[in-house]
Structure 1
Amino acid sequence: SVEELRDLIRRLDSPQVGVIFDVGNTVGTLDDPIEAADIVGPYTVATHYKDFAIEEVTRGFRFTMVPLGCGSLRLREITDRLLKHIDPDTGLSIEMMNGQHFEVKWLEDRFWIPYRNRSARQVAATPTNSFCKRKSTSCRTRITSDSSRIE
């Protein structure tokens, strides 16, 4: 979790250790990326941006990479929060691997083994709740029914 990452960095207490804040990776661990920006923002030395279309599947969620701004992540809010903590010269990397997808099978018991100490609030904040926006209507990206390609 981002809290564990923050705690590790605090314990190491070294100017050579920092965070490359990847806004999309936080969702895969069911961390709210907006809250994560506050938690690890003070330790962020570089950023990595990408966006996902998020859809429910039988055992969890499918994340399909889409062009920035066309997915479910609330990038403007994440960025606004992150900018409160980072140096203006912090590096920015943008990932554009459209169509790549993966599933987070959070409804399977084995998913929760590393997260067994999660609070009820954290568990309730699933990817379709607090930190995702509605699908953008201004984007021309369409995921095919089997999510095998982007049009």
Structure 2
Amino acid sequence: MKIGLETESYHLHFQNGRMDIFDFIKKTAELGLDGVQINIIKDKNLDPNWGCLGSDDPEHLEKIKKEIQKYGLFVELDTRGTEPEHLKKVIEVAHKIGADIVRNYVSCGGDLQEEIRRAPEDIKQIIPLLKKYRIKLGIENHEYETADEMIDIIKKIDSPWVGITCDIGNGMMVWEEPIDTVKKLAPYTVTTHFKDHIIVPNGDDYRVCGIAVGSGNIDTEECFKILVNDTTLTRINIEMCHPYTATFKKEKGAGGALELGKGAFKIENPPLNPAVIKVTDYYYPPEELIEMMLEYQEKEVEKSVKYVLTLRDKYCRETI
């Protein structure tokens, strides 16, 4: 099993000009990992169209491809939405840098039910291009959709070129136990986001909080075993989503979980002192805390990588 790293794991470094895509590729190799998953979604101080990738300029893309090949890494792209013309552009770029998987997600903050209804017909329009380049599309369960809703979309598309990006933690935002999410999505999974979460208080409310993989309340070891044994995956991608927090997107029970306090939904203290930084400021910390948060994020990535590589050593006989 190969282990990759998503650029989101270093989002603060990208946002604050401390890392570009070439730095990330080198860093991933130095960490002893096997591939990169590049997020091309717009973020603070990043290219508005190509995010962490930086540009779709052909010379720039060729340099990226050569850098990836230099370190012997695999590459995947992460984008958003189902708009066919946008996805066609992303698939062309994926082909140019040697990516064989593109991740997207359905909801971009609009009418969820309309987005879910439209998704299958949108995606059917890009299947010929996926087939031409032998690239698979992995639609992610992205905070708003239950596993059952995702499976329904995949069945309506009904193509060997389209599957699921199984994010083991995102189901929590719709009240789904992570192991239930992974078990349901495993047969359809073509790529992953492997992360960890805790539940933290935020005033009178609660939030799902990212944390170093292996440090939270998701049974990541069991999730890893399912992904190894019950899918056709040859890769698992670490997405160290801390520092960040997310709100619940559906009512209690929507994904089967009915209350906080148990299993993955156990309530914990925030990982950082609330007197120093609010949980709502984790993703975009105030200027005076940037250096602290950059250092913290780097240590959390290193902890996550060490833990996941230990899981691989325990459950995978060889690296494919």
- Superposed pair shares fold, TM > 0.5: yes
Relative distance call for 1:71 and 1:88 in structure 2 (3 A) is same
Following superposition of structure 1 onto structure 2, how do residues 94-133 of structure 1 map, counting pairs within 5 Å?
Answer: 94-104=238-248, 111-112=250-251, 118=254, 122-124=256-258, 126=259, 128-132=261-265
1:7 aligns with 2:191: no
1:144 aligns with 2:273: yes
Gaps of 5+ in 1: 136-140
SS at 1:8 equivalent: helix
Distance (Å, rounded) in 1 between the aligned partners of 2:263 and 2:212: 21
Distance (Å, rounded) in 1 between the aligned partners of 2:238 and 2:221: 14
Partner AA of 2:263 in structure 1 = S
Distance (Å, rounded) in 2 between the aligned partners of 1:17 and 1:67: 30
Instruction: State, as a whole percentage, how many aligned pairs show the same letter.
Output: 23
Shift of 1:77: 1.6
Partner AA of 1:12 in structure 2 = I
1:24 aligns with 2:161: no
Q: Say whether the 8 Å CA contact 1:74–1:132 is kept in structure 2.
A: no
CA distances 1:39-60 after superposition (whole Å, capped 9, x unpaired)? 1100000011122231244554
Partner AA of 1:95 in structure 2 = E
Shift of 1:27: 0.8
Partner AA of 1:83 in structure 2 = V
Shift of 1:36: 1.4
Q: Aligned match of 1:77 in 206, 222, 226? A: 222
Distance (Å, rounded) in 1 between the aligned partners of 2:173 and 2:193: 15
SS at 2:236 equivalent: strand
Distance (Å, rounded) in 2 between the aligned partners of 1:134 and 1:87: 34
Q: Which residue of 2 aligns with 1:138?
A: none
Relative distance call for 1:131 and 1:5 in structure 2 (3 A) is same
Q: Say whether the 8 Å CA contact 1:72–1:134 is kept in structure 2.
A: no
Q: Which residue of 1 aligns with 2:237?
A: 93
Distance (Å, rounded) in 2 between the aligned partners of 1:88 and 1:21: 11
Relative distance call for 1:96 and 1:131 in structure 2 (3 A) is closer
Q: Normalised by the size of structure 1, how large is the TM-score?
A: 0.71
Distance (Å, rounded) in 2 between the aligned partners of 1:57 and 1:95: 23
Q: Normalised by the size of structure 2, how large is the TM-score?
A: 0.36
Gaps of 5+ in 2: 1-145, 283-292, 297-320
Per chain length, whose mean CA-contact separation is higher, i.e. which structure has more relative contact order (CA < 8 Å, sep 6+)? 1
- Which of the two has greater strand per residue? 1
Q: Say whether the 8 Å CA contact 1:34–1:131 is kept in structure 2.
A: no
Shift of 1:30: 1.0
